Structure 1
Amino acid sequence: MAQAQAQTTHAETQAHGGAHEDVGFPPFATETYGGQLLWLVITFGVLYTLMSKLVLPRLTGIIENRRVIIARDLDEAVAMKTRAEEAGSAYEKALAEAKGRAQALAQETRAKLAAESDAKRKALEADLNKRLAESEATISARKAEAMGHVRGIARDTASAIIERLTGKAPAPQAIESALDQINA
C-alpha cells in the first residue's frame, strides 16, 4: 500500500510539470528582489508603527511606573530607617533618663532611710540615757536609804552581839557613842 501511494505521488508530479526543476533558495532569486524589497519595507513600516505607537509607549509607561515605585519605596525605606534610628535614640535617651531617675530615687530612699535610722538610733540612745539616769537615781536613792538604815542595823547588831556575849543588853547611849567614834 505504501508503495502504491508513492507511485501515485510520483505520477502526479510528472503530470504537472515533468521532472523537478532546481529553483534554489527563493529569497536569493534575483527575479523576486523587487517584490521582496517592497514587502520588506511594508512589513518594516507596519512593525515600526506598531512598535512606536503601541508597544513602546506601554513599555515606557511600565518602566517609568516601576522607576517611580522603586524610588518611592527607597524613599520610604530611608524614612523608615530614619524613624527607626530616631526611635532607637529616643529609647536610649528614655532608658538613660529612667536609670538616672532610678538611681536618684534609690539615693533619696537611702538617705531617707539613713535619716530615719539615725533619728530612731538617737531616740533610742536618749531613751536609754534617760533610763540609765533614772536607774542611777534610783540606785543612789536606795543606797542613801540603805545607808540611812545602816546606823540602825549596826546599832541593833552591836546590841545583839553584846547581849549574846555578855548576857545583858548594853545601854543605847553607849552604842550610839561607839558608832559616832567609828564614823568620825
Structure 2
Amino acid sequence: MFVTSAFAEETAPATGAGGDTHSGTAVPGEAHAAFPPFDPSTFPSQLLWLAITFGLFYLFLKKVAMPRVGGIIDVRNERITRDLDQAAKLKGEADAAVAAYEQELAEAKTKANTIGQQASDAAKAEVEAARKKVEAALDEKLGAAEARIASIKANAMKEVGGIAEDTASEIVEALVGGKASKAEVAAAVKSVAG
C-alpha cells in the first residue's frame, strides 16, 4: 500500500455506537470489494444507465440545444446575406456616384475649356478691333498728313515757280546786264520745270 509510516500507525481504539473498535486507518471488512465502475458485476446496470443518459442527452441536444444553435446560425446567415446585399447596393450607389462625379468633372472641364476658348476668342476679337481702330485712326492721320504734305508741296511748287522766275530774272540781269520780261522768264521756267 501507499501509506506513509505516520499514517500507518494505529491510534488508540475507539468505541463506536455498536461497540466495534476500529483503527483510524482501518476499513471494515465488507468494503474491501472492487471499485464499483470496475466491478464486473455492475457492468449491465452501468451500461443501461449509460444508454439511458446518452439517450436523454441526445434528445436534449436534438430537441433543445441544436434548434437554438441552428436558429442562431440561420439568423447570422440571414444577417450576413442582408449585410452583403446592402454592401453590394451601397457599392453600386458609390460606383454610380463616382461615375456621375467623373461625368460632371469631364463636363465641367469641357465647359471650362469652352469658356476659356470663348474668352480667348473674345479677347482676340477685342484686340483685333482695337488694332483695326488704331490702324484706321493712323490711316486717317496719315491721309491727313499726306494731304497736308501735298498741299504744302503744291504751295511750295507754286512758290518755287515764283522764286525760280525771280531768281532767273536776277541771274539774267547779273549776266546780261539788262532786264528780261516777266513773260519770257515765266515761259523759260515752265519749260525747264515741265
Q: Deviations over 1:101-120 (max 9, x none)?
A: 12222222232223222222
Unaligned regions of 5+ residues in structure 2, if any?
12-22
Per the alignment, residue 129 of structure 1 pairs with 139
Which secondary structure does the structure 2 equivalent of 1:83 belong to?
helix
User: Which aligned pairs between 1:21-170 and structure 2 lie closer than 5 A?
Assistant: 23=34, 26-27=36-37, 29-158=39-168, 165=174
Change (3 A) 1:107 1:14: closer
Aligned match for 1:16, one of 28, 39, 52 = 28
Per the alignment, residue 15 of structure 2 pairs with none
Which secondary structure does the structure 2 equivalent of 1:8 belong to?
coil
Change (3 A) 1:129 1:15: closer
Q: Deviations over 1:54-95 (max 9, x none)?
A: 422331222122112211121122112211211221122112
Q: Deviations over 1:145-179 (max 9, x none)?
A: 1112223323443455566x47x8x65x6245223
Query: Any conservation in 1 of the 2:165–2:185 contact (CA below 8 Å)?
Result: no
Q: TM-score, normalised by structure 1?
A: 0.76
* Bigger helix fraction: 1
Per the alignment, residue 18 of structure 2 pairs with none
Q: CA deviation at 1:138?
A: 0.3
Q: TM-score, normalised by structure 2?
A: 0.72
Measure, in 1, the Cα distance between the counterparts of 2:27 and 2:163.
181
Which secondary structure does the structure 1 equivalent of 2:29 belong to?
coil
Per the alignment, residue 16 of structure 2 pairs with none
Query: Any conservation in 1 of the 2:37–2:43 contact (CA below 8 Å)?
Result: yes
Segments of 4+ moved more than 6 angstroms: none
**% identity of equivalent residues:** 42
Across the two proteins, how many residue pairs are aligned to each other?
177
Q: Deviations over 1:2-47 (max 9, x none)?
A: 62322339x55656229965x3x64453421342134224423442
